[in-house]
Copies of this chain bind each other. A is one copy, B any other.
């Protein structure tokens, strides 16, 4: 080894699956990385609560501290990798590390979604990097693509399948005809869903990632509670079947878009997309992000969105980005400085096509009643599916509607749900045609 090779000294906070992955990969790829970037990346200290865990992973005892505060106070470290999770300690850790003049790398999308504005202000003030490639879509280098590869583009829209658990569930509902609860149980059995499934299945994880992508694209952090989020629990197997009959697949999409006036929409919900669209063929636990730029047009990025190794790959790429120029100081690149005229649209303003499934008593006049409500709100019907049924039976009535603002649609749904022949809360899904 060349004695003059500079060394980037890393403190690793947290030794879960991703932390262990980072530790192992920095060891196994040590020569490769030094060769590629001309700098050695060396983990000098690891903060982990259970010393036993460090032994399991093979971290030498001399490297281990139990309190992350020791890590951020260590003047010999250049970078802290935050992998402790949660948003309370992780926030404090990140703030203190930046204030102490250290770069920080994090995989923590919840932290960024909730406290990103403050954290990037601190990073900017102290001229330190706060990098987060691992926070969205695991090993897919989507953050780098947005910041660097597409730097010449105004981002017109982003459509992302960014929760592997939900995509696995929808894939199994589609391919094996499972109901939601059975697909979820299978996902848990296969280790694709946590015991506490709400973060994934109710769309919160995807919403955190959508907030990160929106900040990158439009330079502001969607205030908590203002990012419309809807998960999978209302989706039934029959909705996937009807969608297919109409030429659509069903995905949990994060949608981030701007219009000509610079108003921005950010939302996460189950969405019908044309079966022929490339996103419709993204199956299982895979993630994909489709980006439309004003110069480049559509580009798409696909890969595994989670798991220790893919996420470690992203963390190491952030370390390499800092190391590649080390020890030279680099300009820290901020997130959130482009929000000159951006305005977040409310959900009420959003216009899209809609899918409605009603459970109705099969008797004359029901469709007419429903159609009248829709017409009174200027909502056009583009197709109807009503399976054969015997008079008086309860049967699904599926309607595909033309473009309508969410506020009108919601008002119509409320009114429809009060029609006597409508026997269950209407299922409402939005449609995205990528026009």
Q: Please give the residue numbers on chain A whose beta carbons come within 8 Å of chain B beta carbons, in ascending order.
A: 21, 25, 29, 32-33, 35-38, 133, 138-141, 144-145, 148-154, 278, 281-282, 293, 295-304, 309-310, 312-314, 316-317, 320-321, 324-325, 328, 330-331, 333, 337-338
CB distance from A55 to the nearest CB of B (A): 24
A-B pairs, 9 with minimum CB distance: A141-B149, A299-B303, A139-B296, A152-B316, A300-B302, A296-B313, A295-B313, A151-B320, A281-B281
Chain B residues with Cβ under 8 A from A331's Cβ?
38, 324-325
Chain B residues with Cβ under 8 A from A325's Cβ?
325, 330-331
Find the residue from A38, A152, A328 having the highest chain B CB count within 10 A: A152
Q: This chain: how many copies in the complex?
A: 2
Closest residue of B by beta carbon distance from A140: B299
- Given contact pairs A337-B35, A338-B35, A141 touches B148 in the complex (Cβ within 8 A): yes
Q: Is the CB of B295 within 8 A of A338?
A: no
From B295, B303, B321, contact of A300 by CB (8 A): B303
Known: A144-B144, A278-B281. 18 other contacts (CB 8 A): A25-B152, A35-B338, A139-B150, A141-B149, A141-B299, A145-B145, A148-B321, A149-B314, A152-B317, A152-B320, A278-B282, A293-B313, A295-B309, A295-B310, A296-B304, A297-B304, A298-B304, A300-B302
Q: List 18 A-B contacts (CB under 8 A).
A: A21-B295, A37-B151, A133-B149, A139-B295, A141-B145, A144-B144, A145-B149, A148-B317, A149-B314, A151-B316, A152-B317, A278-B282, A281-B281, A296-B310, A296-B313, A300-B300, A301-B302, A302-B302
Chain B residues with Cβ under 8 A from A301's Cβ?
299-302
**Bound complex: CA A328 to CA B328 (Å):** 9
Q: Is the CB of A317 within 8 A of B140?
A: no
From B138, B152, B313, contact of A152 by CB (8 A): B313
CB distance from A18 to the nearest CB of B (A): 12
Q: Is the CB of A149 within 8 A of B317?
A: yes
Q: Is the CB of B303 within 8 A of A296?
A: yes
From B138, B295, B330, B333, contact of A29 by CB (8 A): B295
Chain B residues with Cβ under 8 A from A37's Cβ?
151, 333
Q: Is the CB of A151 within 8 A of B317?
A: yes
Chain B residues with Cβ under 8 A from A316's Cβ?
151-152, 295
CB distance from A73 to the nearest CB of B (A): 28
